[in-house]
């Protein structure tokens, strides 16, 4: 769902945790679900809430500050970073951010870098609560197993009386299934008043959840989201659960767009793939990031596609591999055990089996026989070849790039092509066969 109206809050994304439970050298927010870093989901949400990420700020630690991948993501989204020098709780992280932001907007939205699936519709619902008079709005969820979560103690009418952490709950409160996600929308003045007056605990920490009890005479309400939407990812098991959830979301989106996904539980899809209506995807397929599949295309089993565009009525596979920067034209067929990389395949091209097409442009209606290899790498750099329309490449041909094969040329099977071939020419480049009488070694 697209935001109904952009209300342009200041957005603070808390991402300063070290993520020890991931047991990884990769910072937690850079772990991927559906081939997309967790922090990217949060930044994309931020861009939908506002007009881009100009009002978004990420609170980070020193580890993230020096991470090249993270720096590239920040540059891509044009988001600002703020360093929390010491880990003194979520309240301290927000205070660090507010002290560093030149001008807070009237509303402040607190998100988390490891909670990637918040929907724009939920942010809309929070904004509506503010319009109705709330000062603070939190996202709650009804947990199947609430153990470990902060409980929302509420009255009728969605009013929040307190958020009670697990270790402070009474026996009665332990039975509450309504839990706090940590996502918060708050009026600027209310937040600043809390940050000024909040007291650090004996561990020299303070937490954002304290805002409910520390802001007397202020109205705090909640909305309820699905538990899957607000899941936080802190360890490998939760990453696995998140992956399963996201695959379900992606498949449902593709079906809504008019695609047929046969046995989707056997296949894998990246978060950013785009498909059109009447696409058919057979079982056991991997479709990675930066992939576009247009209408009526068919992707057969055991095919691997990543970073390519598959045009209308094209057929891929089975057992085909499409690598990045590849365009497969309308009505073309890339068959079993054919690999295509960094190439443009135009309309009506047939490469049925057992071939490698790398760094090439193949014009319309070309036939590429079995065992054809475009030898594009000379040991130090790649070279590009071009095949003109309606040409025929015989089986077991090696094309030593760079060469140009012009329109309607024919390459004899078994040839090694090292020179350009003119239009309508027949190229034969193979050793002459020599039969020596009575020299067979078979007794």
Per residue of the chain (443 residues), what is the pLDDT tens digit? 344 446 789 999 999 988 899 999 999 999 999 999 999 999 999 999 988 888 999 999 988 998 999 999 999 999 999 999 888 889 999 999 999 998 999 999 999 999 999 999 999 999 999 999 999 999 999 999 999 899 999 987 789 988 988 888 898 999 999 999 999 999 999 999 999 888 887 778 888 988 987 767 889 999 999 999 999 999 999 999 999 999 999 999 999 999 999 999 999 999 999 999 999 999 999 999 999 999 999 999 999 999 999 999 999 999 999 999 999 999 999 999 999 999 999 999 999 999 999 999 999 999 999 999 999 999 999 999 999 999 999 999 999 999 999 999 999 999 999 999 999 999 999 988 899 999 888 87
**Does 296 qualify as catalytic in the annotation?**
no
Residues 304, 353, 383, 384: which is the catalytic one?
A: 353
Cα angle 224-227-228, degrees, rounded to a multiple of 5: 130
Q: Are residue 155 and residue 269 in the same domain, yes or no?
A: no
For 97, the domain range is 10-224
The domain that contains 345 carries what CATH number? 2.160.10.10
Cβ of 419: how many Cβ atoms within 10 Å?
A: 10
User: For the chain, how many structural domains are there in total?
Assistant: 2
Angle between helices 38-49 and 120-131 (to 10 degrees): 40
Residue 327 marked as a ligand binder: no
Secondary-structure percent of the chain, ordered helix, strand, coil, rounded to 5: 25, 30, 45
Residue 395 marked as a ligand binder: yes
Q: Which residues, including other chains, have CB under 8 Å from residue 160's CB and lie 6 or more apart?
A: 136, 138, 152, 153, 154, 212, 220, 221, 222
Q: Which of 179, 203, 224 is the last residue of a domain?
A: 224
Can you tell me whether residue 374 is helix, strand or coil? strand
- Would strands 36-37 and 56-60 be described as parallel, antiparallel, or unpaired? unpaired
Residue 321 lies in a domain: yes
Residue 73 lies in a domain: yes
Residue 370 marked as a ligand binder: yes
* pLDDT on residue 1: 37
Q: Are residue 252 and residue 379 in the same domain, yes or no?
A: yes
Residue 231 lies in a domain: no
* pLDDT on residue 7: 77
Residue 16 marked as a ligand binder: no
Residue 3 lies in a domain: no
Would you say the C-alpha torsion 79, 82, 87, 90 has a positive or negative sign? negative
Q: Which of 192, 224, 256 is the last residue of a domain?
A: 224
Can you tell me whether residue 225 is helix, strand or coil? coil
Nearest one of 393, 360, 352, 389 to 376, comparing CA atoms? 360
Residue 258 lies in a domain: yes
Residue 320 marked as a ligand binder: no
Nearest one of 332, 379, 372 to 356, comparing CA atoms? 372
Which token pair is 166? 């697990």
The domain that contains 115 carries what CATH number? 3.90.550.10
| Bridge partners for 108 per DSSP | 10, 186
């Amino acid at each position: 769902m697209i935001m109904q109206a952009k209300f342009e809050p200041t957005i603070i994304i808390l991402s300063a945790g070290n993520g020890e439970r991931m047991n990884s050298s990769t910072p937690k927010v850079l772990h991927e679900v559906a081939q997309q870093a967790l922090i990217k989901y949060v930044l994309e949400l931020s861009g939908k809430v506002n007009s881009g990420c100009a009002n978004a700020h990420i609170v980070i630690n020193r580890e993230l500050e020096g991470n090249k991948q993270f720096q590239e993501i920040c540059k891509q989204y044009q988001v600002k970073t703020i360093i929390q020098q010491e880990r003194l709780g979520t309240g301290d992280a927000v205070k660090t951010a507010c002290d560093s932001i030149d001008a807070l907007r009237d509303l402040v939205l607190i998100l988390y870098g490891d909670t990637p699936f918040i929907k724009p519709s939920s942010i809309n619902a929070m904004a509506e609560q503010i319009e109705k008079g709330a000062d603070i709005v939190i996202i709650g969820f009804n947990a199947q197993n609430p153990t470990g979560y902060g409980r929302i103690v509420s009255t009728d009418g969605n009013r929040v009386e307190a958020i009670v952490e697990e270790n402070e709950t009474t026996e009665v409160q332990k039975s509450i299934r309504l839990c706090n996600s940590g996502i918060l929308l708050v009026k600027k003045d209310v937040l600043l008043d809390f940050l000024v007056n909040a007291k650090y605990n004996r561990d020299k920490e303070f937490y954002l959840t304290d805002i409910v009890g520390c802001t007397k005479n202020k109205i705090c309400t909640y909305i309820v989201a699905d538990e899957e939407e607000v899941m936080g990812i802190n360890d490998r098991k939760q990453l696995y659960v998140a992956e399963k959830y996201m695959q379900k979301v992606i498949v449902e989106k593709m079906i809504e767009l008019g695609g047929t996904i046969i046995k989707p539980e056997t296949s894998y899809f990246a978060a950013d793939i785009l498909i059109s209506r009447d696409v058919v995807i057979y079982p056991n397929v991997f479709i990675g990031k930066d992939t576009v599949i247009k209408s009526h295309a068919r992707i057969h089993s055991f095919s691997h596609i990543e970073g390519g565009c598959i045009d209308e009525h094209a057929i891929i596979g089975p057992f085909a591999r499409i690598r990045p920067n590849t365009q497969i034209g309308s009505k073309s067929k890339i068959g079993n055990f054919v690999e295509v990389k960094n190439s443009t395949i135009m309309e009506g091209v047939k490469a049925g089996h057992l071939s490698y097409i790398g760094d090439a442009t193949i014009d319309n209606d070309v036939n590429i026989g079995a065992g054809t290899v475009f030898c594009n790498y000379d040991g130090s750099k790649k070279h590009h070849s071009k095949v003109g329309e309606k040409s025929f490449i015989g089986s077991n041909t090696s094309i030593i790039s760079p060469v140009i094969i012009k329109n309607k040329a024919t390459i004899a099977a078994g040839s090694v092509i090292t020179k350009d071939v003119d239009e309508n020419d027949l190229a034969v480049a193979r050793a002459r066969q020599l039969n020596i009488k009575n020299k067979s070694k078979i007794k």
